[in-house]
């Protein structure tokens, strides 16, 4: 489809590339985000990528939607949706023992697999971050195989804990804080993905990739303790 420009109130312009959760669309969105950020357009405050669009926040006292559209059209025509040089790869610890994975057996039954096979797929998949949303720094990641394309719960639960790793509709998320959810919890990560005590509170970004490595409950507690004491360096997770 042709790119669409949609008004988002009087301080936002949505540049919509399509309707699917698709890495090709995401590459175009991230390329446009990079181009806009590098151009330093007058009045642009922030760019926010989603599954299918880029939201451009702007100051209406300094620019307008028509001016932005005129500036964006040639950028879109010349997009290079190749390698995202700003993308990073992180390997996050994941514990799926006991209370950390209350929905794992249900997910395994849905997929006609054993719990071990489900975790094997989750850890073998390189999860691509399409966008952040719902809660601060929360990544929406793809793409799990069709066998794990489980619908969300019909009745959400009132609370799951911070760090919960959850799957639904072929996607994976990590909760940055305790929250209600309709997703299925298959494990927990002891490293906070949102922390106001850090210079950059939001850890992950759209375009980044995540792998999980299995840790047992003892290692989980050890990492959690290091985080609480301020002795855990996020650089340990790079690569």
Question: For residue 53, what are the β-bridge partners?
Answer: 16
pLDDT of amino acid 85: 66
Q: How far apart are CA 152 and CA 74, in angstroms?
A: 40
Query: By the 8 A CB rule, do 16 and 4 touch?
Result: yes
pLDDT by 10s per residue, the chain, length 239:
689 999 999 999 999 999 888 898 999 999 999 999 999 999 999 999 999 999 999 999 999 999 999 999 999 998 876 666 678 999 999 999 999 999 999 999 999 999 999 999 999 999 999 999 999 999 999 999 999 999 999 999 999 999 999 999 999 999 999 999 999 999 999 999 999 988 899 999 999 999 999 999 999 999 999 999 988 888 888 86
Q: How far apart are CA 175 and CA 188, in angstroms?
A: 9
Q: Which residues lie below 8 Å from residue 72, measured CB to CB, with a gap of 6+?
A: 5, 15, 32, 36, 56
How many beta carbons lie within 10 A of that of residue 13, not counting itself?
Answer: 23
Query: By the 8 A CB rule, do 61 and 86 touch?
Result: no
Tell me the per-residue pLDDT of 168-206, one tens digit each, with 9 for 90 and over: 999 999 999 999 999 999 999 999 999 998 889 999 999
Q: Which residues lie below 8 Å from residue 95, measured CB to CB, with a gap of 6+?
A: 101, 187, 188, 189, 190, 214, 215, 216, 217, 219, 220
pTM over 0.85: yes
pLDDT of amino acid 238: 83
């Amino acid at each position: 489809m042709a790119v669409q420009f949609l008004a988002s109130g009087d301080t936002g312009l949505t540049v919509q590339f399509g309707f699917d959760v698709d890495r090709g669309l995401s590459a175009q969105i991230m390329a446009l985000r990079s181009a806009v950020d590098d151009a330093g357009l007058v009045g642009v405050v922030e760019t926010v990528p989603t599954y299918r669009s880029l939201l451009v926040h702007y100051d209406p006292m300094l620019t307008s939607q028509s001016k932005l559209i005129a500036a964006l059209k040639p950028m879109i025509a010349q997009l290079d949706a190749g390698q995202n040089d700003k993308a990073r790869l992180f390997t996050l610890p994941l514990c799926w023992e006991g209370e950390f994975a209350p929905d794992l057996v249900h997910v395994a039954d849905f997929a006609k697999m054993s719990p071990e096979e489900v975790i094997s797929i989750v850890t073998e998949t390189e999860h691509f971050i399409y966008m952040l949303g719902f809660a601060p720094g929360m990544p929406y990641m793809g793409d799990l195989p069709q066998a794990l394309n489980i619908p969300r719960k019909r009745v959400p639960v009132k609370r799951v804990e911070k760090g919960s790793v959850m799957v639904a509709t072929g996607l994976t998320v990590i909760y940055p804080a305790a929250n209600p959810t309709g997703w299925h919890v298959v494990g927990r990560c002891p490293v906070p993905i949102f922390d106001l005590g850090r210079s950059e509170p939001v850890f992950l970004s759209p375009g980044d990739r995540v792998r999980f490595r299995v840790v047992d409950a003892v290692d989980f507690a050890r990492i959690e303790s290091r985080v609480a004491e301020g002795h855990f360096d996020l650089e340990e997770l790079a690569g």
